[in-house]
Structure 1
Amino acid sequence: MKEAFYIASTGRPGPVLVDIAKDVFDTSFEFEYPKDVHLRGYSGHQEGCQGDVVRAVKALAKAKRPVLLTGGGVILSEMAEPLRTVVQQLGIPVVTTLMGKGSIPDDWDCHLGMVGMHGSYAANMAVTQCDLLLAVGVRFDDRVTGDAANFAPQATIVHFDIDKVEINKIVHADISVNADLRWSLPRLCEGLKPYGQSLYERYEGWRHVVLSMKKAHPFATRHLEGTISPQAIFNAVQAATDEDTIIVTDVGQHQMWSAQFFNLNKPRHFVTSGGLGTMGYGLPAAMGAKIGCPGSTVVLFTGDGSIMMNCQEFATLHKYGIDVKVVVLHNNVLGMVNQWQRMFYSGHCSQSVIADNPDLTALSSAMGVPGSGVRSPEKLDDAVSRLFHTEGPALLDVFIPPDENVYPMVPGGKRLDQMVLGGEAQ
């Protein structure tokens, strides 16, 4: 067990399977929990080559149009602060993966937003046009790259990652630093110090270009008369909460809108199912977040499809008094599947319409969690206010149009600059 927890929490953290035979459980023996761990071939600490860091610094010094891509590894390694130092020193434009959200404050001017399939226009165009991409703690996948053969086509790619398997797996790295970020990022910061303000000034023209794109093409959803827009939901919750709020999501359209619209300034305040993409992840994860951080407000954004996957956990919220606020974006469809079917399959919506779901407010209330619904945009702010003034766990069921899409969208196999844009402000 000691070894399992050590492996799970070091290197590239993740789940570990412990298989215990039944006869072990049935046996009486003296047990003393070990103080140390000794694993053959694994230390949990990984140092890299200083020469690789030097090459990365020199590449940054030569670049005129650099972009910093931050991933979940920055957060897992607790290295957000050193990376923020690099950003402030260089004034380098920043884009993030879904799992990297929070590594750089969303409200910083140089933060262009999420990159990839539902990334911002500015982020996707910056990656397409940059001459150097500094990827830190990032796992490249098709949701980030789009057409991998044409990803960052003009760029020298520098990849910092602890997992050697991820380097050159999907995207070729011209320079790679295979090491724990706790080893490599401080050395990167130190190597950049001699350049002072010179690189900040060198990148000024490039910053102007990408920040102009950011201003011209913000994230947006439709604002149809008499209906509640997804964007309005996140704006209302943002206004009702503080910067220590922890956001948890399930999987689907609401997950992408959460990443797009809810600004976070701290790491470990955005909890979501990344590569595995598991509907039903949200409610158990939100319970864990609240138990782990009892002083923080925990908000679960979910869909009317996802919430049904683990809705029985409302009884657990009530039983143990776990104060999670649940906001359902209710559109009577499996939103992301339905969006693909409408956009790319001539509207043949197979098994993605779920208008026959039970009344979610009655469902949660039956398990001891008070629920309320809202359909009118004029009543949204009051409904959100009541949600957060309710003592203990509570649910707010917010009805949105069934044909709302997440934009921008990069269709499967297309380049990042081949985005489908939509919404009035796109």
Structure 2
Amino acid sequence: MSNEAYQGTVTLTVAQATIRFLSNQYSERDGVEQRLIPGAFGIFGHGNVAGIGQALLQNEINPAEGENDMPYIMPRNEQGQVHAAAAFAKATNRMQTWMCTASIGPGSLNMVTGAALATTNRVPVLLFPSDQFATRIPDPVLQQLEDPTTLDISVNDCFRPVSRFFDRINRPEQLIPSLLGAMRVLTDPAETGAVTIAMPQDVQAEKYDWPVEFFARRVWHVRRPPAEKAALARAVERIRAAKRPLIVAGGGVIYAEASEQLREFARQTGIPVADTQAGKGAINFDHECAVGGVGSTGGDAANHLADTADLVIGIGTRFSDFTTASKTQFKNQDVGFVNINVGAFDAAKQSAVMVVADAREALTELIDLLKDHRVDAAYSAEIAAEKQAWERVTQECYHRDQTPLPAQTEVFGALNELMGEDDVVINAAGSMPGDLQALWQARTPVQYHVEYAFSCMGYEVPAAMGVKLARPESEVVAIVGDGTYQMLPMELATVVQENIKVIYVLLQNYGFASIGGLSESRGSQRFGTKYRQRGTGSHLADDELIKGVDIAANAASWGLDVIKVNGIQEFREAYRKAEASDRPTMIHIETDLYGPNPPSSSWWDVPVSQVSTLDSTRTAYEQHVESRRPQRHYL
């Protein structure tokens, strides 16, 4: 288009200008361009129904010249819509995300948890919470928070600490630099997360003469920063000197689409590769150097090697508390770290040799620089032995043939065997992420989608919708605990309304297995973690178990096809039926609240009461003191 075509102005409301601008934004990496914001979620109220709501309607019925479609989906819960957008972004390796809008007050504030999840996980979401009147003539407007010390605050200020970018549009012309800044953050490979632009409801509907050039097609190039030569030299020196190196692959490997390079680097050097929750699948489980999950919820193979590693090479990982087992996992007193990360903040952790770079770029360089280097044969033999030993444990957990109620690990085993390599399993909270990280055998980078940075109960139901929108060709399977289900089931209605074919696997065990087990191990006797008849006000173990809540019937009432099964054989048959269906389906199965879970070879620091009248708590405190002895800063 010629420069003359961009001359002049066009009169639109702020909301209309927002939608027109967003419809023409694209991301690009490695020559592949795609719509950055391909659709909109929105729940409307008096804050946005006549602003962004009207703009989306106008886009659908009578789009402006040069304006692309902005498909709209009506969610049921504001937090849920942000989870769906975050899951979509994760499934597209952060190259795309959906916009989310909500009404003033409680509607917008409901998005804060989703914003925190996105920023914690470093995935982009774009939020437009509605705000009070900028003119302050209707004041206080319905649902407005009043602060007697200032008039320049609203509930939307709660987004500031959980957003990578926050702005408030008090005048129409402020929208131009704000949206440009928002796109920069959404496409930043390191400093991305929730982008929040608060929209006063009167400003949304206010007209302005916009420069036509503002709406031109823009391509935002997602950079792949190369590694500094000197930093690579320092890393190579440390790797060559190490006798027992270990790679910890995080989500950054998958987002950078660096799996091929990671597999080749491991094959060439023989260095074992452990994975975090976000990094599982970065290397295929049957690769000779893949040793599985590491840390508090890891397996024996990776954790035994981590215990004695003299060099840990973190690639695209932020070294969360679980990955380091609360700073007890890497027990070698002489252990050192090399961190390859696109963000300097994460690269600097553990006093590491820093390589601030895109994972694919850095690995490509290291493959060449270390082409003549390989670990000792004895170490390779040890890696193979650890892999074989953990494979036996995994198969035992997958095929317990436990009656009358199966362990949840048997359900995971069936899914692991039934699902295709490009299908996606989703989970986020409870004891399930721990079992999955330890046991799941991911064959591809797309197969494993576990949100464990924020581990937000309620993520799984809307996340399945988001992932399916991103990967319509895949079977998308969300494993949902009965506790998580009760937190946020509302998007089931959206899934049914939009006929989004996903499979939900509901594990019913009448309690909170994860926190129950944690409570018991810390001397609190599973208090408040089972569905018990309250009656006298107690929640002790001998209270009557409540089985009156029928989740299967509830799911059916949302419009899903529901299959109730008993045992693993029936579960396998039900999965094939759900797979063949073109409708959203839930498979409901009862599992044993008490597991058993995979054997643990690591630790997690959860403080225990230092004084107590309970024997269970006193014993747990003594164990906690002993378990904490290896804990240290990695300096």
Task: Classify the TM-score, shorter chain.
Answer: 0.7 to 0.9
Identity %: 26
- The one-letter code sitting in structure 2 at the alignment partner of 1:203 is D
Larger radius of gyration: 2
Q: Secondary structure at the match of 2:563?
A: strand
Q: Indicate the residue corresponding to 1:188 in structure 2.
A: 366
Q: In structure 2, what is the Cα distance between the partners aligned to 1:315 and 1:59?
A: 54
Q: How far apart in 2 are the matches of 1:35 and 1:132?
A: 47
Per-residue CA deviations over 1:222-276 (Å, capped at 9, x if unaligned) read 6533321223212222333211101111311122223333322222332222211
* Residue number among 201, 215, 218 corresponding to 1:33 in the alignment: 215
CA 1:100 to 1:246, structure 2 compared with 1: closer, same or farther past 3 Å? same
What is aligned with 1:400? 591
Cα distance, 1:391 vs structure 2:
2.9
Deviation at 1:115, TM superposition (A): 0.5
CA contact (8 A) 1:375 1:400 kept: no
- Residue number in structure 1 paired with 2:388: 215
Amino acid at match of 1:291: L
Distance 1:23 1:132, change over 3 A: same
Distance in 2 of aligned mates of 1:6 and 1:113: 35
Instruction: Give the drift of 1:44.
Output: 5.8
Q: 1:131 to 1:5 in 2, by over 3 A?
A: same
TM-score (norm 1): 0.88
Displacement after TM superposition at 1:64 (Å): 2.1
Q: 1:313/1:241 Cα in 2 relative to 1: closer, same or farther (>3 Å)? A: same
The answer as to 2:572 corresponding to 1:375 is no
CA distance in structure 1 between the partners assigned to 2:386 and 2:415 by the alignment: 27
1:152-201 alpha-carbon deviations (Å, 9 max, x no partner): 424221111122222344x221x2112232442222222123x1xx51xx
Residue 366 of structure 1 deviates from its aligned partner by: 1.1
Query: In the TM superposition, what is the alpha-carbon distance from 1:17 to its structure 2 partner?
Result: 1.8
Determine whether 1:243 maps to 2:421.
yes
Distance 1:35 1:274, change over 3 A: same
Structure 1: unaligned runs, 5 residues or longer: 419-426
Q: State the secondary structure of the residue aligned to 1:68.
A: strand
Q: Deviations over 1:371-397 (max 9, x none)?
A: 122233443322333332333110011
Report if aligned partners of 1:236, 1:384 keep a CA contact under 8 Å in 2. Answer: no
State the distance in 2 between where 1:324 and 1:299 align: 6
Provide the residue aligned with 1:24 in structure 2: 203
Instruction: Give the match for residue 289 of structure 2.
Output: 110
| 1:14 maps onto 2:168 in alignment | no
Q: Alpha carbons of 1:45 and 1:86: their partners in 2 closer, same or farther (altered >3 Å)?
A: closer
Secondary structure of the 2:405 match is coil
For residues 84-99 of structure 1, the aligned pairs below 5 Å read 84-99=263-278
Q: Quick one: structure 1 residues 366 and 210, their matched pair in 2 at CA, closer, same or farther if it must change by over 3 Å?
A: same
Distance in 2 separating the partners of 1:150 and 1:319:
47
Q: Check conservation: 1:146, 1:415, Cα contact below 8 A.
A: no
User: Is 1:58 the counterpart of 2:250 in the alignment?
Assistant: no
What's the counterpart of residue 164 of structure 1? Answer: 344
Letter in 2 for 1:213: E
Distance of aligned partners of 1:228 and 1:184 in 2 relative to their CA distance in 1, 3 Å threshold: same
Q: Is the 8 A contact 1:246 1:297 kept in 2?
A: yes
- Equivalences for 1:353-368 in 2 at 5 Å? 353=531, 355-356=546-547, 358-368=549-559
The answer to whether the 8 Å contact 1:73/1:138 transfers is yes
Corresponding residue number in structure 2 for 1:228: 406
Letter in 2 for 1:214: K
Please state whether the residue corresponding to 2:196 is helix, strand or coil: coil
The CA distance in 2 between the partners of 1:113 and 1:416, in whole Å, is: 26
DSSP-derived class of the 1:82 partner: helix
Report what 1:347 is aligned to.
525
8 A contact 1:341–1:349 mirrored in 2 = yes
The corresponding residue for 1:293 is: 471
**Equivalent position SS for 1:301:** strand
TM-score (norm 2): 0.60
CA spacing shift, 1:325–1:172, aligned 2, 3 Å = same
Q: More deviation in 78-87 or 178-187?
A: 178-187
Counterpart contact for 1:247–1:300, Cα < 8 Å? yes
Residue in 1 that maps onto 2:480: 302
CA contact (8 A) 2:468 2:501 kept: yes
Query: Residues 63 and 44 from structure 1, CA distance in 2 versus in 1: closer, same or farther, beyond 3 angstroms?
Result: same
**Counterpart position of 2:261:** 82
Paired with 1:106 and 1:347, the residues of 2 have a C-alpha distance of: 37
- State the secondary structure of the residue aligned to 1:328: strand
Cα separation, partners in 2 of 1:223 and 1:67, compared to 1, 3 Å: same
Greater CA drift, 179-188 or 51-60: 179-188
1:135 aligned residue: 314
RMSD of Structure 2 on Structure 1 (CA): 2.6
Q: Which moved more, 1:123-132 or 1:148-157?
A: 148-157
Aligned equivalents of 1:34, 1:24: Cα separation in 2? 23
Structure 1 residues 29-73: Cα deviation after superposition (integer angstroms, max 9, x where no partner): 2443255599xxxx9664442111112122222222111110011
Higher relative contact order (CA 8 A, sep 6+): 1
Cα distance in 2 between the residues matched to 1:383 and 1:83:
37
CA distance in 2, matches of 1:416, 1:277: 27
Aligned residues of 2:342 and 2:356 also touching (Cα < 8 A)? yes
- Report if aligned partners of 1:46, 1:162 keep a CA contact under 8 Å in 2: yes
Residue deviations 1:387-411, cap 9 Å, x none? 3233311001111111115333433
Going from structure 1 to structure 2, the CA distance change for 1:152 and 1:81 (only over 3 Å counts) comes to farther
- Count of residue correspondences: 408
Farther off after superposition, 60-69 or 297-306 = 60-69
CA distance in 2, matches of 1:374, 1:343: 31
Distance apart, 1:125 and its partner CA: 1.2
> What is residue 412 of structure 1 aligned with on the other side?
604
Structure-1 residue corresponding to 2:122: none
Note the residue ranges of structure 2 that are not aligned, 5 or more in a row. Answer: 1-178, 533-545, 606-626
- C-alpha change, 1:69 and 1:108, in structure 2 (3 Å) is same
2:370 alignment partner, SS class: helix
Structure 1 residues 130-139 or 183-192, which shifts more?
Answer: 183-192
Quick check: 1:261 aligned with 2:439?
yes
Report if the CA contact (8 A) 1:92-1:203 is conserved: no
Q: Secondary structure at the match of 1:148?
A: coil
Q: 1:10 to 1:152 in 2, by over 3 A?
A: farther
Match of 2:496?
318
How far did residue 26 of structure 1 move? Answer: 1.7
Q: CA deviation at 1:320?
A: 0.8
Task: Report the CA distance between 1:284 and its aligned residue.
Answer: 0.9
